[in-house]
Chain A
Amino acid sequence: MAFVDFKNVWLAYNDELLAQGHFAVEDISLSVTEGEFIAIVGPSGCGKSTFMKLTTGLKMPSKGSIHIGGQAVTGPLKISGMAFQAPSLLPWRTTLDNVLLPLEIVEPYRSNFKARRREYEAKARDLLKSVGLAGYESKFPWQLSGGMQQRASICRALVHEPKMLLLDEPFGALDAFTREELWCTLRDLQAAQKFNVILVTHDLRESVFLADTVYVMSKSPGRFVVQREIDLPRPRDLEVTYTPHFTDIVHELRGHIGVVRKLAPATP
């Protein structure tokens, strides 16, 4: 049984658009096994973020069905954690308190947060340590570099032990070296905790290095046009990105993006 199961999912943002037949995403079907790392690549505005909203239950499909963990999605899914390109940490909270924020909101942590705060703090500290932020717990977000803020943001997404991590271009604003460091951080976290990851990105190398399966999405209509299994053995080292096989896969995917571009109607 697939963990994430989309069956012919269509979404129009409102009834008016639905009546006109304008869909943000069209006829999406996919099936992701438990613990799988998938990446979705495509040109900007192709509905990648819409896909995220569908997967987290923040939006309901206009047509089709979504099952996650065997259950039909009917509302926001607490088993998911999200992180975005902007770390959006709260500037009045320390790094540690920022990471603890989800526990103040999501059940079952919420009701016993005050009583077991110490335990949760220890857990958050461990998590921060695992991404290399030990010693920065009591610093404020604006005292951290962009890469560190993004690490903290990923910790915040993971602190309630979600089964599914959704990342929307999380490394898009970072420099190339920091980005590669964070690839490795994410790779190690996922290897250790085996959660599902859905990574939305522009970066083909990123998607090939990290994911088990890469989906290429086309723009208006937002559809999946290619599904590509990445057969590189794990654990993957950054060195793998310089091998011919890796380059071939990236090149092949690039080819699909090119086709997608040509097919899409010209936009002003």
Chain B
Amino acid sequence: MKLTKSFERWSPFVLLALVLLLWQGVVSAFGIAEFIFPSPWQIGLQFIEFQGPLLEAAWKTFWVTMLGFGLSIAVGVMLGFLVGSSRLVYAALYPLLVAFNAVPKAAIVPILVVWFGIGLGPGVLTAFLISFFPITVNIATGLATLEPELEDVLRVLGAKRWDVLVKVGLPRSMPYFYASLKIAITLAFVGTVLAEMTAGDSGIGYLMQSAASQQRMSLAFAGLVTIGAMAMAMYELFSWVEHRTTGWAHRGSHAA
């Protein structure tokens, strides 16, 4: 029992090691050129060689993403609150939001560049635009799924809409909110890198773009790995926060 538990815990790392070994094996066995498809070992070497620039670019990408993500939490929660608490706003706004969400964000970046120039603006905004929708939808869902009986219990006591929202709606939507943060943060990274690749002058996206244009495929892959690692770390962070704050919604794994 104990063994299976700890095996479960380490299984992602075991799988990762296996994949890396297989990858290395395939590249070596077929003698694939580095500028086409680099091996993990070559990528690792690039990490050591370009430690400085990679870290700098990662840091830039990270905080641009965080700015966009912060914006998307603020706007996403507000919109979700509006959409979830008023039928009129829901009817009016929801179709527009869906339509907007369906627009490929890559198509928006050039427009943002015209408006805000090369640099910070497009990155932050793309991260925001790509990631607020899941937050809005989740908050709205949490608010809208209120049992009618409970609403009656409270309304008969003279509860106003606001009371019901604050006492029941908001706490109820918290698990949805945290779940959406996990999705939104990974999307925000996608947004930032997208903007950096199309119209950046720094950051991981820019670094990958330049590396690829110089046929330094190993460095481009190192950039990919960096983005993946950052997004995963943030995902895990929000998972942890979710479990800490809304444990009541995940009782299956906690129950004594």
Contact = CB atoms under 8 A, between A and B. Distances in A.
A90 B168 contact: yes
A260 to B, nearest CB: 26
Contact of B157 (A84, A91, A140, A160): A160
Contact of B158 (A78, A101, A143, A168): A78
A57 B167 contact: no
B156 A57 contact: yes
Contact of B149 (A84, A90, A92): A84
A91 B152 contact: no
Most buried by A among B153, B154, B167, B248: B153
A151 to B, nearest CB: 16
A140 B248 contact: yes
Contact of A58 (B147, B156, B163, B167): B156
B157 A58 contact: no
B171 interface: yes
A156 B156 CA distance: 13
B158 A92 contact: no
Contact of B167 (A78, A84, A105): A105
Interface residues of B, number: 22
Nearest to A75: B158
Given A86-B149, A88-B147, A140-B248, A76 B168 contact: no
A58 B171 contact: no
A53 B156 CA distance: 9
Contacts of A143: 255
A221 interface: no
A159 B248 CA distance: 24
A56 B153 CA distance: 10
Interface residues of A, number: 30
A82 B153 contact: yes
Interface in B97-155: 147, 149-150, 152-155
A240 B142 CA distance: 47
A142 B156 contact: no
B159 interface: yes
A229 interface: no
A76 B155 contact: yes
Contact of A80 (B149, B150, B156, B168): B156
Contacts of A53: 152
B246 interface: yes
A222 to B, nearest CB: 18
Contact of B156 (A56, A91, A92, A101): A56
Contacts of B155: 58, 76
Given A56-B152, A92-B171, A78 B157 contact: yes
Interface in B157-194: 157-159, 163, 167-168, 171-172, 174
A91 B153 contact: no
A86 B248 CA distance: 18
Contacts of A105: 154, 157-159, 163, 167
B66 to A, nearest CB: 28
Interface in A18-76: 53, 56-58, 76
B150 A142 contact: no
24 contacts: A57-B156, A58-B152, A76-B155, A77-B156, A78-B157, A80-B156, A81-B156, A82-B152, A82-B153, A84-B153, A88-B149, A90-B168, A90-B172, A92-B174, A101-B154, A104-B167, A105-B157, A105-B159, A105-B163, A106-B157, A140-B248, A142-B248, A142-B251, A157-B153
Interface of B: 147, 149-150, 152-159, 163, 167-168, 171-172, 174, 246, 248-249, 251, 255
Interface of A: 53, 56-58, 76-78, 80-84, 86, 88, 90-92, 101-102, 104-107, 140, 142-143, 156-157, 160, 168
Q: Would you list the 5 A-B pairs with minimal beta carbon distance, nearest first? A: A106-B157, A84-B149, A88-B150, A92-B248, A56-B156
